[in-house]
Amino acid sequence: MVITMEELAQTIDHTVLKPETTRNKVKQLCEEAMTYNFAAVCINAVHVEYAVELLKDSSVKVCCVVGFPLGATLPQVKAMETREVVALGAHEVDMVMNVGALRDENFDLVKRDVEAVVAASGDAHVKVILETGLLTDDQMVKACLICKDAGADFVKTSTGFGPMGATPHDVRIMRETVGKSMGVKAAGGIRTFKEALRIIDAGANRIGTSSGIGIIEDYRWAQYSDSWMQPDKPCWTCPSRMANIAKQPKEVYLWYKQRCLTCPDKEHNVFTD
């Protein structure tokens, strides 16, 4: 895959979502996003007004999370959050799906939840965070179809606060499911240009990361060797390897682990690497 540094930068949502984030940190985030010409800054609602002011003369968008990080609040609350942040100037809204409802197969509620945010978003783009680490592949596919049907612009893998980050496996399924008409945003645990390129190769067109500068700066190493992109052990990027019973529902955890038993790369799953 050949992608320029500028093109790579344009896929990145420069992200700070930690609770301890100060205004100073938001200012730094925005300045960096302008310097590197990132696609957007991704922040919490309390910082939207300030970020909009800082970025008013730039092409960098302001993206705000909604119903974050659990997604377990009411549709009308997510909608109200959306209206407020859009009114403050947010250009994009990353909402968290009602994951529990999806697992309950209460698909109507999942859809209404997304539709409420889409309706409240005006011209802003809506990305729906599925929190893929809490889902099986079939559930992920269903979630993607609901989001598409509900009029969302993007599906997004993870909050970064859940049990797993983004994996090429998940992104590939999401892209295959939503087709070319929607965006796919990968977020969670993407820290290097190698990870970013793999995720893009799998179908993502937006990356949420707090390591944007490192990814872009380190990408300059790529011109000096092709060996960075040598294949790793397949388990390294497999969600099954990252499954964690302490953080996932038992049946989801077991679903992931049972895939290992029939995996064609099973012989690589030997060492603690």
CA 202, 232, 191, 217 dihedral sign is negative
Given 94, 113, 153, 170, the catalytic residue:
94
Q: Is 148 a catalytic residue?
A: no
CA distance 76 to 79: 5
Q: Is 156 a catalytic residue?
A: yes
- At 112, which helix (H) or strand (E)? helix 107-120
User: Which of 224, 246, 250, 261 contacts other proteins by CB under 8 A?
Assistant: 224
User: Which of 4, 24, 181, 223 contacts other proteins by CB under 8 A?
Assistant: 223
Instruction: Answer yes or no whether residue 265 interacts with other proteins by CB under 8 A.
Output: no
What region does 105 belong to: left with phi over 0, alpha with psi -120 to 50, or beta?
Answer: left
Closest CB to other proteins among residues 105, 217: 217
**Phi, psi dihedrals of residue 210, rounded to the nearest 5°:** -95, 5
Give the count of residues interacting with other proteins (CB under 8 A): 25
Instruction: Answer yes or no whether residue 4 interacts with other proteins by CB under 8 A.
Output: no
**Would you call 144 helix, strand, or coil by DSSP?**
helix
Q: Which residues contact 40 (CB under 8 A, 6 or more apart)?
A: 13, 14, 33, 60, 61, 62, 63, 91, 92
Stretch that binds other proteins, among 15-23, 106-114, 142-150, 265-273 (CB under 8 A): 265-273
CA distance 249 to 8: 35
Instruction: Answer yes or no whether residue 161 interacts with other proteins by CB under 8 A.
Output: no
User: Which of 232, 245, 254, 258 contacts other proteins by CB under 8 A?
Assistant: 232
Stretch that binds other proteins, among 3-11, 103-111, 180-188, 191-199 (CB under 8 A): 191-199
User: Which residues partner with 14 through β-bridges?
Assistant: 41, 209
CA distance 38 to 12: 5
CA distance 81 to 65: 9
Instruction: Answer yes or no whether residue 193 interacts with other proteins by CB under 8 A.
Output: yes
Instruction: Answer yes or no whether residue 6 interacts with other proteins by CB under 8 A.
Output: no
Stretch that binds other proteins, among 69-77, 94-102, 170-178, 229-237 (CB under 8 A): 229-237
Instruction: Answer yes or no whether residue 230 interacts with other proteins by CB under 8 A.
Output: yes
Nearest-approach distance from CB 191 to other proteins, in angstroms: 8
Please measure the distance between the N-terminal and C-terminal CA atoms of the chain and give it in whole angstroms. Answer: 27
Stretch that binds other proteins, among 36-44, 70-78, 223-231, 250-258 (CB under 8 A): 223-231
User: Which of 142, 194, 206, 241 contacts other proteins by CB under 8 A?
Assistant: 194
Given 78, 142, 185, 194, the catalytic residue:
185
User: Which of 25, 172, 191, 259 contacts other proteins by CB under 8 A?
Assistant: 191
Instruction: Answer yes or no whether residue 24 interacts with other proteins by CB under 8 A.
Output: no
User: Which residue type occupies 112?
Assistant: R
Q: Which residues contact 272 (CB under 8 A, 6 or more apart)?
A: none
Residue in 13, 27, 56, 22 with CA at minimum distance from that of residue 208:
13
Distance of CA 248 to the CA centre of its chain: 18
User: Which of 125, 166, 195, 203 contacts other proteins by CB under 8 A?
Assistant: 195
Pairing of strands 154-156, 12-15: unpaired
**Site of interaction with other proteins (CB under 8 A):** 191-195, 213-214, 217-218, 220-221, 223-228, 230-233, 236, 271-273
